[in-house]
Amino acid sequence: MKKLYLDIETSPHQVYCWGLWSENIGVNQIIQPSRVLCVAYAFDDEGMQFVSEWQDGRKKMIEQLWTVLDKADVVVHYNGVSFDETHLNREFLQAGMDPPARFQSIDLYRTVKRRFRFAANKLEQVAKELELREGKLKVDFVLWRDVLSGSLEAQALMEKYNREDVELTRELYKELLPWIDRHPNAALYEGDDLMRCTRCASENLTKDGFARTSAGTFQRYRCGDCGAQSRGKSRSSTTPLREA
């Protein structure tokens, strides 16, 4: 399973506005809408890559990202279904490109929101409460302003910030793996018919009770590597009747 970890940084909308407080900004006040500025990404078994508007130019950046997504079976991100993926789709459309090959998404933000209660669901807070890394770099709006005005120092800092977020996403994925619902079936990508964990494809499985659904009873297994549970595909018992 070709798994891609990815995080994007975007520019703010540039707008005209009359006031600083409780302002509603109409679309006719937009000078320049938000765009993708840079992206850090890494395939599971490869090193971190970084592409940006300032290093590579927009055309090359967008084309490279399209190729990378086209190769991925699964994309892992934090709030990427509604943010990163849609921003990138817009860039592809604007560049006149077709969609990349369909991939499955693992949005860790959705797992965090559905299955846990942290003080906040922001990546920074979750990482802190799980003691994952030193925590994200502290940056504020000045960084975006300086990046856009061409400061090499600011651009280097944004690259660092972007790369760190992908590292953090990769670490968080490993922590959350047995908790992720509807994870793509990793065993399918191994091309054999061995009994493998559906999350990490490990064969290190032990029997762990039974799963009972409305259709019947299934053998359940626990993975010794990632801790996730899987269940057998055939029923070990069933009942003559089901609920009508």
CA distance 164 to 41: 10
Q: Strands, E, within 96-215: which ranges?
A: 104-107, 205-213
Q: What token pair was written down for 46?
A: 């490869």
Listed residue (86, 128, 91, 103) closest to 189, CA to CA: 103
Q: Distance from CA of residue 37 to its chain's centroid?
A: 18
**For Zn ion, the closer CB: 70 or 225:** 225
Span 29-88, contacts to Zn ion by CB under 5 A: none
- 1 near 33, Cβ under 8 Å? no
Asked if residue 200 binds Zn ion (CB under 5 A), the reply is: yes
**For Zn ion, the closer CB: 117 or 233:** 233
Going residue by residue from 212 to 241, which x/- string records binding to Zn ion, judged by CB under 5 A? Answer: -----------x-xx-x-------------
Q: What token pair was written down for 37?
A: 């500025």
Phi then psi for residue 120, to 5 deg, are -150, 155
Of 3-11, 16-24, 152-160, 196-204: span binding Zn ion (CB under 5 A): 196-204
Which one of 69, 88, 158, 197 is in contact with Zn ion (CB under 5 A)?
197
Asked if residue 125 binds Zn ion (CB under 5 A), the reply is: no
Supply the minimum distance, in Å, between the C-beta of residue 49 and Zn ion.
27
Q: What token pair was written down for 177?
A: 């793996």
**For Zn ion, the closer CB: 79 or 230:** 230
Supply the minimum distance, in Å, between the C-beta of residue 209 and Zn ion.
17
Phi then psi for residue 235, to 5 deg, are -70, 135
Supply the minimum distance, in Å, between the C-beta of residue 198 and Zn ion.
8
**For Zn ion, the closer CB: 169 or 198:** 198
Q: How many CB atoms lie within 10 A of CB 124?
A: 14
Q: Which residues bind Zn ion (CB under 5 A)?
A: 197, 199-200, 202, 223, 225-226, 228
